[in-house]
């Protein structure tokens, strides 16, 4: 089958016309990360990502027609010239792109869009369903082992963005295999794409506005336990100071499943991810784990953290929009702020899904780096709840997964912003 989507001219992609390559071999990868707490650097700001011992990582290519084995021959790696992602690790990232002649053939010889949509959903669901169920089983087992100390929470999301390739030369894919290439998934999307989602996708899928909120998120650590993070969500008071809204201690989020899909005839790719957030039940537990000598009850710990918050001032002219007097990002008791983020988030919800549109200005105090990001995330809330039940039927999983993928397909149609 062929694609019926409208033609996207090159000037909207901000990409150069590629050359015609030879067919792509070995484009599918599935692997299990065997090392405990496997870590990798996620972005230029130095955030560390943790994976569970048996985490599943998968990447594959697919076209709008749902065909994964008939990969178009005219596929190239081209530099990403969009302003939203200048460079990663000091180098210009590359993206996969199909040439215009091949794209026009896929468009003009296509079938009806609904038929394409159904086939795409079936193929993707077939490729990820077993991995998804297995990842939940492994994640639930790990949660049972630590439930006396932690409140574990699993979260299944779909993110729209772009798969970037590193350490490769631009040009035709030719005989090179992308199997072992270094890939980075960026969730940063242009403002025009976010506008399309708000004006078109939200009403079409009957999303209702839940809340719009501006918050400041501070990550606080103690030098004796760098893997534990205290998250402080704050709002701004009238005097420009911070008002603490919530404070929770968490171990670094752990990923159990990551499935990246290169949608080769679209401008956006997708990521399906299952991650667990391990929250220490009370801040007192955090103190006990940090260092027994610091334990003097919950109030002292809160006081130490509040001291850091009280010394901060909201300033829209600085990175992260928060500033401190010199030397005031650390307390005398060993607590320090290592990351600040100004977040403007709009949350929607329909009967089965959540939708979060997030604009963030993040500053990493430790590395002195800034990251400005606009992202769109679909939260598969009903499916997440169902998959945590015991002895769930495979038919039920298949139906819920296909429904969720149908919505993701629709969100991919608004990708003309690149």
Q: What residue segments make up the domains of the chain, in order of their start?
A: 27-70+113-163+188-412
Rounded CA separation 294/304 (Å): 11
Residue 41's pLDDT is 33
| Integer angstrom CA distances of residue 69 from 10, 60, 97 | 26, 10, 17
List Cβ neighbours of 11 (8 Å cut-off, separation of 6 or more): none
Residue 43's pLDDT is 39
Average pLDDT over residues 381-405: 92
Q: Tell which wins on pLDDT, 271 or 145.
A: 271
Rounded CA separation 117/407 (Å): 10
What is the rounded (10 degree) CA torsion for 261, 176, 30, 48?
-70
Which runs of E-coded beta strand occur in 143-207? 150-166, 171-172, 182-186
What is the CATH class of 27-70+113-163+188-412? alpha beta
* Number of other CB atoms surrounding residue 94 within 10 Å: 21
Lowest mean pLDDT among 52-66, 166-180, 283-297, 299-313: 283-297
| Integer angstrom CA distances of residue 332 from 275, 286, 336 | 34, 17, 9
408: three-class secondary structure by DSSP: helix
For residue 403, pLDDT over 70 is answered with yes
Q: pTM for the complete prediction? A: 0.80
For residue 31, pLDDT over 50 is answered with no
Closest to 414 (Cα-Cα) out of 200, 271, 265, 112 = 200
Q: What is the pLDDT of residues 254-308, one digit of tens each?
A: 899 999 999 988 889 999 999 998 776 555 444 444 443 334 445 677 788 888 8
User: What mean pLDDT value characterizes the chain?
Assistant: 77
196: three-class secondary structure by DSSP: helix
């Amino acid at each position: 089958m062929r694609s019926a989507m409208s033609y996207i001219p090159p000037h909207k992609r901000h990409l150069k016309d590629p050359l015609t390559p030879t067919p792509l071999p070995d484009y599918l990868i599935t692997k299990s990360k065997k090392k405990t707490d496997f870590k990798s650097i996620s972005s230029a700001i130095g955030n560390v990502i943790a994976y569970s011992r048996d985490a599943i990582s998968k990447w594959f290519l697919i076209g709008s027609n749902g065909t994964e084995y008939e990969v178009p021959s005219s596929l190239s790696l081209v530099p990403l010239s969009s302003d939203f992602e200048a460079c990663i690790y000091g180098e210009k990232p590359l993206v996969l792109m199909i040439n215009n002649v091949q794209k026009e053939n896929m468009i003009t010889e296509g079938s009806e869009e609904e038929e394409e949509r159904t086939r795409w959903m079936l193929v993707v669901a077939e490729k990820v369903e077993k991995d998804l169920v297995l990842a939940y089983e492994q994640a639930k087992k790990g949660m049972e082992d630590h439930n006396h100390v932690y409140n574990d929470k699993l979260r299944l999301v779909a993110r729209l963005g772009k798969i970037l390739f590193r350490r490769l030369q631009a040009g035709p894919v030719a005989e090179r295999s992308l199997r072992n290439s270094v890939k980075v998934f960026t969730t940063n999307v242009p403002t025009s794409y976010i506008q399309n989602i708000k004006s078109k996708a939200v009403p079409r899928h009957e999303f209702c506005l839940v809340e719009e909120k501006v918050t400041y998120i501070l990550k606080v650590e103690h030098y004796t336990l760098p893997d534990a993070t205290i998250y402080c969500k704050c709002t701004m008071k009238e005097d420009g100071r911070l008002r603490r809204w919530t404070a929770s201690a968490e171990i670094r989020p752990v990923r159990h499943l990551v499935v990246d899909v290169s949608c080769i005839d679209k401008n956006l790719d997708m990521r399906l991810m299952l991650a667990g957030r391990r929250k220490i039940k009370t801040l007192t537990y955090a103190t006990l784990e940090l260092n027994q000598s610091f334990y003097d009850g919950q109030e002292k710990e809160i006081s130490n953290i509040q001291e850091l918050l009280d010394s901060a001032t909201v300033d829209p002219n600085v990175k992260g929009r928060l500033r401190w007097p010199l030397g005031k990002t650390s307390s005398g008791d060993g607590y320090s702020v290592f990351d600040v983020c100004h977040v403007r988030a709009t949350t929607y919800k329909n009967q089965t899904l959540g939708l979060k549109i997030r604009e963030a200005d993040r500053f990493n105090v430790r590395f002195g780096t800034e990251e400005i990001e606009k992202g769109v995330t679909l939260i598969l809330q009903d499916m997440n709840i169902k998959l945590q039940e015991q002895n769930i039927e495979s038919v039920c999983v298949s139906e819920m997964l296909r429904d969720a993928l149908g919505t993701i397909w629709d969100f991919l149609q608004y990708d003309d912003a690149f």
